[in-house]
Structure 1
Amino acid sequence: MKKLVFLALACILIFAFGLSDTSKAKTQIISYKNCKELNKVYRGGVAQSASVKNKGGKTRYTPFVSKELYNKNTHLDRDKDLIACER
């Protein structure tokens, strides 16, 4: 009887986690016209990867890391340091 209850509970938990969205929120891949628009959504800009370093000196905010979003907005990376619109 205990095994049956345990098995039923395990199936319910697996089913419940399968239905819930436990993954990270999907980022919309939008091409922004300018840095002002991009910084409204991403305060620190967008970095291609977490390991890139800012060439321009100190920044106030940490950039959001997304390779796809950065690739869509490479035209906004003026100093070509792999961080678009850093602040």
Structure 2
Amino acid sequence: MKKISAVVLSLGLILSFFAGSDSVATAKTKAKKYKNCTELNKKYKGGVARTSSAKNKGGKTHYKPYVSKALYDANKKLDRDHDFIACER
């Protein structure tokens, strides 16, 4: 009886893993494109960084940037100094 319940439990875990991965893949939403830095900074005061290791070339900033590869890629045109941080302030 213990062997059967262990097999059923293992099978259930394996199936739930595969079922959960499909819902995560379909839950991805498109990153919002902003028209300019003023609009982007209303929601993300420090701008948007591509990675957490991106360093600001422009000097001292007042706010820490939000890190999101998808959001940065959608608004790449707003990164004027090409330091992988768009609209930093």
Q: TM-score, normalised by structure 1?
A: 0.69
Residue 82 of structure 2 is matched in structure 1 by 80
1:29-56 per-residue CA deviation (whole Å, 9 max, x = no partner) reads 3321012322344343222223210123
Residue 48 of structure 2 is matched in structure 1 by 46
1:10-43 per-residue CA deviation (whole Å, 9 max, x = no partner) reads 1112222332358596352332101232234434
Residue 63 of structure 2 is matched in structure 1 by 60
- How far apart in 2 are the matches of 1:53 and 1:81? 7
Asked whether the equivalents of residues 45 and 63 of structure 2 are also in contact (C-alpha less than 8 Å), the reply is: no
1:53-76 per-residue CA deviation (whole Å, 9 max, x = no partner) reads 01231331232230x432332221
Cα RMSD between the aligned structures?
2.7
- How far apart in 2 are the matches of 1:12 and 1:72? 39
Q: Which amino acid aligns with 2:32?
A: I
The offset of 1:5, in angstroms, is 0.6
Residue 5 of structure 2 is matched in structure 1 by 5
Q: Which runs of 4+ in 1 moved over 4 A?
A: 21-25
Alignment identity in percent?
A: 48
For the residue of structure 2 that corresponds to 1:81, the secondary structure is coil
- Gaps (5+ residues) in structure 2? none
Asked whether the equivalents of residues 52 and 82 of structure 1 are also in contact (C-alpha less than 8 Å), the reply is: yes
Structure-2 change in CA distance of 1:29 and 1:78 (3 Å): same
Aligned residues: 86
